[in-house]
Amino acid sequence: MDWVMASDATNQLLNGVLIQMSRSLLQYASEASMWVRAESVSAAGKLESVAQRQRDAVGRLARLLDNRDVAVDFGSFPTEYTDLQFLALKSLVSGLINGQRKICEAAQGVLIRLQSGGDTEAVAVLGEILAGQQAIESELVSLGSTL
């Protein structure tokens, strides 16, 4: 019985990370209309590329949870994002970086908890996802320096 509870708790933690990624400012920005100067079109392309990588990570976590017969909750975007239409990409960069940093911190915290719980499959998947999210954070910082 304790294993079932621990497994439910583990799955809830994983779903929490999934929600943070799937409803991040990065995902919202990739779906919203942003204003980009002609010389920054490649930056918008990079943003879409990292957003796609994050969506792939969400899909990977969703598959893990689905394979465990867990009803996956994708959450909803925060209401404060609704005012962020038709903004310049440059004005969103600091928010994108801060949001990504929070995702990495949350995933790191969950990973530490999972490592002590013995769920090796979840540890392996989340460890790889965390590395990918940290790379996205670095790319967003780099992107911000070019705008």
34-72 pLDDT per residue, tens: 776 666 678 888 999 999 999 999 999 999 999 999 999
Could you tell me the maximum CA-CA distance found in the chain, to the nearest angstrom?
A: 59
Is the overall model pTM greater than 0.85, yes or no? yes
pLDDT surpasses 50 at 5: no
Taking only the tens place, the pLDDT of each residue in 11-26 is 999 999 999 999 999 9
Token match 């960069």: residue?
A: 93
Q: Are 49 and 41 in contact (CB under 8 A)?
A: no
pLDDT at 2: 37
d(C-alpha 96, C-alpha 127), whole Å: 22
Domain that includes residue 55, residue range: 2-146
Domain of 10, CATH number, reads: 1.20.1260.10
Number of structural domains found in the chain: 1
Could you give the C-alpha distances from 126 to 73, 88, 129, 133, in angstroms and in order? 17, 33, 5, 10
pLDDT at 3: 42
3-state secondary structure of 35: strand
